[in-house]
Amino acid sequence: MPRPIQATIHTEALRHNLARARQAAPDSRVWAIVKANAYGHGIERVFEGLRGADGFALLDLEEAQRVRALGWRGPVLLLEGVFEPRDLELCSRLDLWHTVHCDEQIDMLASHKTNLPHRVFLKMNSGMNRLGFTPQCYRSAWTRLNALPQVDEISLMTHFSDADGARGVAEQMAVFAEMTRDLPGERSLSNSAATLRHNLSDLADSQVACDWVRPGIAIYGSSPDFPQHSAADWGLQPSMTLTAKIIATQALSTGATVGYGSTFVAEKPIRIGVVACGYADGYPRVCPTGTPVLVNRVRTHTVGRVSMDMLALDLTPVPDAGIGSAATLWGCAANGLVLGIDEVAHAAGTVGYELMCALAPRVPVRVAD
Ligand SMILES: Cc1ncc(COP(=O)(O)O)c(C=O)c1O
């Protein structure tokens, strides 16, 4: 018998969330961001739900090959571009579009031998200070690229650092708009937070068409700005559910403790359930007592430290639960009740992204409609 733990990928939720992104940016084409193995879901598992996207954007060449192996003939974009010259051969062979964010990548392109000129996305560092040419160097990079026979079309892109927060996108937008004003080419700017929270065409002075949006977390049904907005507030549905069964129960008397470090002390007699899920499955060890869990349509919470293979729950609100009862650690319970991955992430002091990406390889995954 395998351990009673399972992750489920919800194809219909992916489809729904993609449609939600389209609805938020009706004049844009949509890249489905599938980097990090589709945010931990598995590229092959999300493909059916996301094949309605206009393109797939990711980082690894190996992941790009997997998207092509699925039969996808549309656009595929490498968000960090190439890492070494020979990567360009694969770009030519698989018709991969790639970001160009530094002079070294232009040098590589200039030495690349190909009859098929490449579509590139020239990245501006408009304030994120991660990848991209500074606004001052951007136009000279464009001119250099434009002169290369290896380059076909140049699109323009940037990435927002604070689309989910108070600072917003206006400053970066203003820089980007100013420095690209008369450059030809399609524009790609918005991640999930910018797509859902900011109507770029409304920003004063921007005049920037957003030809391509780049939603990631939203298509996986997690909120880009939790707790300000929940996924439900944005009309998003969970694309990943993690469930595990209760494999033991214990009746605790007052003063009894639970788990390593005895961090939980029963203040009254309680019954606890021990669930076959621990940090080796991807459930964060740092989740404190009180982290929400669903059992039999009822919301309860963890008690004590999460251990490698198990965690404990307070069964007081679910007296009918016992060995074999299913606990929903995040996502959709059988009755349609939802426990947002963002709530669990918040309890762990992190974001839904990290929990999805950390789903452990040992957890069996099934794909549902
Ligand atoms: C360049 C770029 N575009 C888009 C995204 C998608 O962001 P999100 O998952 O917040 O929508 C990312 C994610 O980090 C990114 O690095």
Indicate the SS3 state at residue 292: strand
pLDDT in tens, 217-256: 999 999 999 999 999 999 999 999 999 999 999 999 999 9
- Return the residue matching tokens 């009254």: 268
d(CA 69, CA 61) in angstroms, rounded, equals 12
How many alpha carbons lie under 13 Å from residue 254 in its C-beta half-sphere?
2
Ligand 1 mutation pick, 33, 60, 176, 223, max ligand atoms within 8 A of CB: 33
| Helix, strand and coil percent figures for the chain, each rounded to 5 | 30, 25, 45
Atom of ligand 1 nearest to the CA of 191: 11
Q: Are 356 and 222 in contact (CB under 8 A)?
A: yes
Q: What is the pLDDT of residue 201?
A: 64
pLDDT in tens, the chain (369 residues): 789 999 999 999 999 999 999 999 999 999 999 999 999 999 999 999 999 999 999 999 999 999 999 999 999 999 999 999 999 999 999 999 999 999 999 999 999 999 999 999 999 999 999 999 999 999 999 999 999 999 999 999 999 999 999 999 999 999 999 999 999 999 999 999 999 998 766 654 556 778 999 999 999 999 999 999 999 999 999 999 999 999 999 999 999 999 999 999 999 999 999 999 999 999 999 999 999 999 998 999 999 999 999 999 999 999 999 999 999 999 999 888 999 999 999 999 999 999 999 999 999 999 999
Cα 102 to Cα 80, 82, 99, 121, distances in angstroms: 10, 10, 9, 12
Distance from the alpha carbon of residue 326 to the mean position of ligand 1, in angstroms: 33
d(CA 144, CA 137) in angstroms, rounded, equals 11
Q: Are 30 and 57 in contact (CB under 8 A)?
A: no
Helical axes 11-24 vs 43-50, angle rounded to 10°: 60
Q: What is the pLDDT of residue 322?
A: 98
Atom of ligand 1 nearest to the CA of 224: 10
Q: What is the pLDDT of residue 1?
A: 76
b/e per residue, 79-96, with b = 16+ CB within 10 A?
bbbbeeeebbebbbeeeb
Partnered with residue 313 across adjacent β-strands are 273, 302
Q: What is the pLDDT of residue 204?
A: 47
Ligand 1 mutation pick, 28, 34, 214, max ligand atoms within 8 A of CB: 214
Atom of ligand 1 nearest to the CA of 159: 1
The set of long-range contacts for 258-267, using a CB threshold of 8 Å and a minimum separation of 24, is: 258/303, 258/304, 258/312, 259/303, 259/304, 259/305, 259/306, 259/307, 259/312, 260/304, 260/305, 260/307, 261/304, 261/305, 262/304, 263/289, 263/304, 263/305, 264/289, 264/303, 264/304, 264/312
d(CA 55, CA 42) in angstroms, rounded, equals 17
> Which residue's alpha carbon is at the smallest distance from atom 13 of ligand 1?
216
CA 368 from centre of chain: 19
191 in contact with ligand 1, CB cutoff 6 A: yes
Determine the residue type at 101.
H
Ligand 1 mutation pick, 41, 129, 159, 160, max ligand atoms within 8 A of CB: 159
Residues with catalytic annotation?
Answer: 35, 260
> Which residue's alpha carbon is at the smallest distance from atom 12 of ligand 1?
191
10 CB burial (10 A radius; 0-12, 13-18, 19+): buried
d(CA 73, CA 57) in angstroms, rounded, equals 13
33 in contact with ligand 1, CB cutoff 6 A: yes
- Report residue 108 as tokens: 């590589």
188 in contact with ligand 1, CB cutoff 6 A: no
What angle (nearest 5°) sits at the alpha carbon of residue 100, between those of residues 96 and 104?
120
Distance from the alpha carbon of residue 72 to the mean position of ligand 1, in angstroms: 21
Helical axes 135-146 vs 103-111, angle rounded to 10°: 0
Distance from the alpha carbon of residue 42 to the mean position of ligand 1, in angstroms: 17
d(CA 201, CA 211) in angstroms, rounded, equals 11
222 in contact with ligand 1, CB cutoff 6 A: no
Distance from the alpha carbon of residue 27 to the mean position of ligand 1, in angstroms: 19
216 in contact with ligand 1, CB cutoff 6 A: yes
Indicate the SS3 state at residue 293: strand
Distance from the alpha carbon of residue 57 to the mean position of ligand 1, in angstroms: 9
220 CB burial (10 A radius; 0-12, 13-18, 19+): buried
d(CA 367, CA 242) in angstroms, rounded, equals 12
Q: Torsion angle, CA of 359/361/364/368, rounded to 10 degrees? A: 60
**Euclidean distance between the first and the last CA atom of the chain, given in angstroms as a whole number:** 25
Bond before 227 cis per omega within 30 degrees: yes
38 in contact with ligand 1, CB cutoff 6 A: no
